[in-house]
A and B are shown apart, each in its own frame.
Chain A
Amino acid sequence: MQLKIFYSRFILLALCMLLSVGAFAQAIIMSGKVTDDKGRALAGVTVRFGKTSREVTSTNSSGAFSVTVSAGTSIAFRLIGYEGVSMTARADRTVTVRMKELDNQMDEVVVRGYVKRPRETTTGASTKISGKEIQDIPAANVENLLQGKVAGLNIQVNTGAPGFRGSTQIRGLSTISVSGSGDQSFLTPTSPLYVIDGVPMDADRANELGLSQQGPGISPLSLIPPEDIESIEVLKDAQATSLYGSLAAYGVIIINTKRGNSEVPRVRYTGNFFLKTPPKLRETLGGNLERRLKLMQIYGNALSQLDLDQISQTPMLSDSLNAYYNNSTNWQDLFYATTYNQTHNVAIDGGNQKLNYKANLNYYNENGIIKNTGFDRYMANMRFEYYPNEKFRFTAQVNASLGSKSKGNGLGILQSGVATNGTFSTLLPGPSFYLASSGYNSALQTKNDNSSKSIKPFIEASYEFLSGLRATTTVSYESTSDNENTFTPAAANGQFAQVYAYYGRYNSLYNRNSINYSHTFNEKHTVFFNLFNEIRTLEKQANAALQARTPNDQFEGPLGFDGYFSKGGGLLRRGFGKERGLSFAIAGTYDYMKRYVVDLSYRRDGSSQNGFGNLYTKNPAVGFRWNAYHEEFLKEVDWINLLSLRTSWGVNVMPNSTLERVYGKYDITGSYNDKIGIGINYEQIPNPNLKPTTTTQYNLGLDLALFNNRFEMTYDTYYKKVDNILFEERLSSSLGFEKVNSNSAAIANYGHELSLMFRPWTEGRFTMSIGANGAYNKDVLLKLPEHYGGQFVRWENIDKYKQHIVFRVGTSTMSNYMLLNRGVYSTDADVPVDPATGRRYRMANGTEFQAGDPIIADLDGNYILDENDYARTGNSQPLITGGMQLNFNYNHETLGSFGLNIYASYTAKRTILNNALAERLQLMSDPYGDKAVVPLDDINMWMKPGDVAKYPYAYDFKRYANINPFRMDQDLWAEDGSYFKLNSVTLSYMFTKNAARRYGMERLRVFVSAENLNTFSKYSGPNPENVTSMGRDGSGGYPVPRQYNVGVNIDF
């Protein structure tokens, strides 16, 4: 309510201003309309007077303007993205100003160190995409929409869990730290720094621990509606990122939300109704088919009478009067569902050059395709900018958001409970009153309620003391509170209900003060300086409480719980944080006639978390640019519109230290002489000399535009060395301490990035553009701690998986360490015999291999399958990523305009482990058990002696215990994870202005879109993208749904 008053006052104020402009009226009146070269009205074009270029007014939403000037004054029309137009004022009320749209990417304005700069004078590698490219697709997380749009930005939408993020990497690997195990092995996320409306934000905050996170796990990025985004810029090389300091070691993504841009207040509504459908689920044999297959399996492979007799002890196989005998429950169907979802966005904006405002309200509702999961977003973003004169500027913004999510009983990204239940035998009766599986109850009856509430006020004021010298100060505050409440009913938790509550708060205050100065001497030499400091304070604290064994399902606490099993209190690890940060940065740019540009920047970051040895980190960068197209000899070549060479070097230093790593952890260790003793925790040796991770990057780039910008190309090649990577070294047991955090690992990434854009038709009714981009990134492990001698194996400690990871110097960093599968033994005679002992190749337990068993390479040649047969194989990180786009547009004056946008992305050369298939085949291991069986007809499997097959014989259930033919640690599951994915297809139709006006609208546009339409891949699993960042395709993942959408844009 207060807000409304607030805004109505501003509107009033704005109107007053307009009137006051009119009050100055003297001399002549000139008015008319500004259009683009196709005749469409342009709103927000600034109109400036004379030599001072004072902004007077701007065009309204229908492109109209009116100015009162003295005759003969020169008037300039300007709009970002269009070529400026100048004319002499005349007393004409029907002036039509046509402005030519600039396609040239060099006319873009980019942001460096929080300051807008023309792209042609920046030396770093970056890609900017406009908000238009991510419209029309409703998404919980805007990051997913960037997939395939920026060369070198590798986004894998590896979870369909609503409100969660996939994995994002800019220019390859920056860490060798893997958390979790088995299917849940995750690379520690190294997401880029997000700078949203000038305020840096840590996107990894919600999932620092990969999967095993506590709290709601709502990514802050999920709280930004795509509809509100004006532009996104991805900074890739160190020259571009070094001004953002240590947080920017993994790249920077700058998101700017929309500004008020209409003199007449307007209301823009976007609504989407979308359908999410689960992908194809695992095929299962139901009821009678299952029973018959199990019996066939037993009769065909039983080794003893005992095996046959066991049939009669398994009533659901043998007893036709048994209640289970005739069931056919589709377990998977109980958990997955097609869902209907919606999102609504209302944007209100208005204002002129002196004052503008905008408010964006967003509601997003998504129900997960796994029942009992979902995500809702409520967001309000309000901003107003006040420029009373040329010198003073003032901006204020408030962003309030609420994300609410249900994770079911899973962790969100993983729904292993659902996966386990989905494999239940169809012969088991479905959930009912008398018999409900606890897994089913746990997944669907658990009440899980998560919310993340955040409010972010932001104020910026700047003043231009002298021409070109401007001082700016920015203050922003963020307060986030995260809650999770879970109630698990008794039936879902071993007959005891329990209540879990999590509360976390996060506060950060951010202040930036900057002075920048730009000046051009003799119209040739331009200098620009930007000097700023940043102050950050951050506090976070999380608490959790678990009340176990509460009385019943109706009474959800707080009384009556069992104190012995209940626990609670503050969370130390990752839950607690306190940091003060102070940074200084200086950047200078010099250019000579915009031909030769030199960029220098330097930044120091201090943090209270750093050890005293490395209190401040230093981030220097240098860049050069040669704009060849400004050279005289190229000016005459009219088919070259742009030719620039860029090169840069820069360093980003990111501290590894935490208080714990630097000073050690201390525990209360009992009392001595009646005094409490505090002693060190022996888990790790404190390392005050822990060095910060240093990323050094070289970049060489080429920008090219030819034939009236019909053809555009950007090429970058880079070498990025990540040194002093944090490495946890296990210590010898005789040392007392368990581990030490050292710094002795290093990775190099090098690669090439290429973006191409081709626009065959840019004028007329029919316009079209085709774009493609690709990035090749190769990573090489440069070193490991000296004493390892060049190899370190990260042993998988879950027996079921044993999919180890090997780090070997000189090779791609993330390789699997597993057994090499060479096929299947066709006949018994194919099994090699040890000439010395006369025994066949065998397991360590003595079981010899036979026909139908997997051929596993006996690398050490001892005729026994053991640990020495493991070998380095595959690379879990993709070598090539990229995307494609195709945009058609057809404009007709009376029919309206049609648009077709297709976006695709691809990933190539990546090893993924199809653990889901392994688990599917392992379902055959126990025909007497309560697991489902799957049809194996489509699998190239050994069936009888003489068969040459890929997969071992699955039906012989007696061999699972001894030789485990489908063991996870063999490269039989390693497959090429290359894919080409049709990300989205959008068909849109915009009504003509007249048609829209008939309904009282300014603009009316309808569109249908589909997302995640199809993935083309040779991969045998369901989705080569829906795998962890370590390339494990576990069945416990959350499938990525397909989405169909109908939407409408209405402007009033």
Chain B
Amino acid sequence: MKISKRNSTIYRHACSWGLLISLCAGLNGCKKLYNLPDEKEFLSVNLTYDGKSFYPILGRTSLMGTVNTDHSTTPLHFEIINPRFGDGRPYTDLFQVKPVYQWITRYDGTEKNLEEIEAKRKLVNRPLFEVDSTGTFILWNSSTNELIPPRSKDSIDLVQNVRYFDLKVSNSGGSTVVKDFMILPWRVQDYEPYSDKNPYNGEVAPDPQDPKNPKKQSYIWPAYMTNIYGESSNQLLRTNDEFKDLVVYIRRFDGGNGHNLRFVFWDKDKKPINPENFNETNWAELVHGFNIKKTPTYVQYDVAYPIPLTNYPTKYTNGSSAKIDFGYSRIGFGGTLVTAGFGLNFKIFTKGDWEIVFHFQRENPRFDNE
């Protein structure tokens, strides 16, 4: 009797322990026990890009590609794989590492000097072409015609010269490869509007109205011109498809400090007009430049390139371009005050000494009072 009782006690203990252990196992090992699927991030099989052919322009920072993640769990990891030409040869030139500017804090147009601007950005080494953490492709402005051969000057692109690559996208939910992206860069276009140049070869573009005439060329037009009367004809000067009374040249000049921007005004004889004639111009806030230097032949600033620095809307910009406005006033017929003006929206991508020349080609503007 006693033995049986002891036995039963042992049995009981074993029972209760067994139970306890099974309960614990039940609490911890449910996932395994019930063969439940793992909790993981979602990577959609439908992840795709809105467009897979890119035609960026070298020499400027271009963001390309809109990924449609189909609500895959972000952040995603993107990696360019299998870079190849159309005939299968691999290429590496696109991934050369060069220093580029990256912003540290926001540029907002209130900086008082160049140092202040430079303090807001820093030089870092990046590949010329890369994909960032958002799946956006970046061609940095460190890219040049020399580093990356652009599309051919004769506008015939052979498939063996076209660059292709694939993109591997992954998160903890798995990975997928988006295939056959194409990139075919244009050669460097230093400034914008680039309407005076042929984008294929960078040479002077023919006049769109008369393309066969080698004596004529295409020009950059001012964004607007108002109330500018010709000195001799007393007619409104205009620039349109027919007339080219005021044209603009954006070109490099020699003798600057490497980051100068100069504004020059020419009369019909290509003689400089004194900028003081444009008496309504707000020279201090014309561009976000410093150390203004006014001479009878030009006005010059020290600026930071590219122009504009970002697309943040400031008083120096119009949309994503820099804007400049020149004006002058005079007494017109009947003693009315006539305010004349013209302006230009432009961008300059390459650092250097640049001058923007406004050339009154046909007739000089009338500055005198009536």
Q: Which residues of A contact B (CB under 8 A)?
A: 628, 633-634, 636-637, 640, 700, 702, 715, 717, 719, 748, 750, 752, 778, 780, 782-783, 789-791, 793, 806, 808-811, 817, 829, 831, 833-840, 848, 859-862, 867-872
Contact = CB atoms under 8 A, between A and B. Distances in A.
Given A789-B43, A837-B103, 12 more contacts: A780-B37, A782-B36, A782-B37, A789-B42, A793-B71, A817-B71, A836-B103, A839-B310, A860-B135, A861-B74, A861-B134, A869-B74
B74 A868 contact: yes
Given A837-B311, A839-B106, A861-B132, A748 B34 contact: yes
Contacts of B42: 789-791, 808
The 3 closest A-B pairs by CB, nearest first: A838-B310, A835-B102, A862-B134
Given A833-B106, A834-B103, A839 B39 contact: no
Given A702-B19, A860-B74, A833 B36 contact: no
Contact of A719 (B34, B46, B63): B34
Interface string B100-144: 001111110000000000001100100000001111101000000
Interface stretch (B6-14, B153-161, B206-214, B362-370): B6-14
Nearest to A635: B8
Interface string B59-79: 001010000010101111000
A634 B34 CA distance: 33
B100 to A, nearest CB: 9
Contacts of A806: 71
A633 B15 CA distance: 12
Interface residues of B, number: 52
Given A636-B8, A810-B40, A839-B310, A752 B27 contact: yes
A658 B133 CA distance: 48
A582 to B, nearest CB: 35
B331 interface: no
Contact of A836 (B7, B11, B15, B102): B102
A783 B35 CA distance: 13
A789 B311 CA distance: 39
Contacts of A634: 8, 12
A860 B102 contact: no
User: Does more than half of chain B's interface fall in helix, strand or loop, or is it mixed?
Assistant: loop
A791 B71 contact: yes
A323 to B, nearest CB: 45
B26 A752 contact: yes
A279 B120 CA distance: 55
A838 B121 contact: yes
B167 to A, nearest CB: 15
Pick from A778, A782, A806, A860 the residue with the most CB of B within 10 Å: A860
B310 A837 contact: yes
Contacts of A836: 61, 63, 102-103, 132, 138
A314 to B, nearest CB: 31
Given A836-B61, A839-B312, A862 B136 contact: yes
A636 B38 contact: no
A861 B45 contact: no
A838 B103 contact: yes
Contacts of A789: 42-46
A201 B170 CA distance: 52
Contacts of B102: 835-836
Interface string B1-35: 00011011001100100010001001100100110
A545 B27 CA distance: 56
B173 interface: yes
B92 to A, nearest CB: 22
Contacts of B132: 836, 861
B312 A633 contact: no
Contacts of B43: 789
B246 interface: no
A717 B26 CA distance: 8
A840 B106 contact: yes
15 contacts: A633-B8, A634-B12, A637-B12, A700-B26, A719-B30, A748-B34, A778-B30, A833-B105, A834-B103, A859-B74, A860-B69, A861-B75, A861-B134, A868-B71, A869-B74
B5 A790 contact: no
B357 interface: no
Contacts of A840: 106
B11 A633 contact: yes
Nearest to A793: B71
Contacts of B34: 719, 748, 750
Nearest to B68: A868
Greatest chain A CB density within 10 A among B26, B106, B138 is at B106
A466 B134 CA distance: 80
A868 B103 contact: no
